[in-house]
Chain A
């Protein structure tokens, strides 16, 4: 079974530029997550999709971050304009997510991440 795919793996941009990340989840997984992981910290959820609908984007800085999941499969996360504090690893994860506690949601499969450096 193929895992979660992400691209690019690394990106260096200057502040105020824009950047986009792509994620392809595990086939059949309804739930897709984007996390931000700053060095030395645990992942922090930015947005969660169930199929192609947003379930939770409460921690997404909507003035500069946007995400979409067209057709309920692939997803893109965009930052525009980038700030220095956006330097982090952006992780995509997916899970079967059928809504029942203990069945699926707690088991999330992460992609390799995109390492973003904003100069």
Chain B
């Protein structure tokens, strides 16, 4: 089966850098996705890594190591609006025709002034 592990909560100061880790176990692997969700809001797609390495999109970067079954989301120059929950997700590899995403339990990021 599939499982993902990520820290439940992270606190950081405005302007700082924070890293949110995710380890996964899957029966088949296509790639690792990251979603952001503000309280009361909908999950919003942030990034997707299919290959090893770092992908940068503005202040956010995402890293993947397939050999270690590990990835992380890096948020730089933290802003108060970055306070939200961040979910890593993998595609269920059991069925080629299913695009089901398996989500982690989420990391709640609190940015303090």
Number of B residues whose C-beta is below 8 Å from A? 25
**Contact A99 B97, beta carbon cutoff 8 Å:** yes
**Contact A55 B97, beta carbon cutoff 8 Å:** yes
Q: A42-B105, A107-B48 are in contact. Are A55 and B98 (CB under 8 A)?
A: yes
Tell me if A72 counts as interface (CB < 8 A to partner B).
no
Q: Which of A43, A112, A113 contacts B103 (CB 8 A)?
A: A43
Which DSSP category, helix, strand, loop or mixed, fits chain B's interface?
loop
Distance, CA A55 to CA B104, complexed state (A): 22
Number of A residues whose C-beta is below 8 Å from B? 29
Distance, CA A43 to CA B105, complexed state (A): 8
**Contact B31 A101, beta carbon cutoff 8 Å:** yes
Q: Hey, what's the 0/1 contact readout for A13-27 against B, CB within 8 Å counting as 1?
A: 000000000000000
CB proximity to B under 8 Å, residues A86-119: 91, 93, 95, 97, 99, 101-102, 105-113
**Contact B42 A110, beta carbon cutoff 8 Å:** yes
A38 CB → nearest B CB, Å: 10
Distance, CA A14 to CA B91, complexed state (A): 35
Chain B residues near A31: list those with CB within 8 A.
Answer: 99
Which 9 A-B pairs give the minimum distances between C-beta atoms?
Answer: A42-B103, A105-B99, A110-B42, A56-B98, A101-B30, A102-B50, A106-B48, A45-B100, A106-B33
Interface residues of B (CB under 8 A from A): 30-31, 33, 41-45, 48, 50, 87, 89, 91, 95-106
Interface residues of A (CB under 8 A from B): 4, 31, 33, 40-45, 48, 50, 55-56, 91, 93, 95, 97, 99, 101-102, 105-113
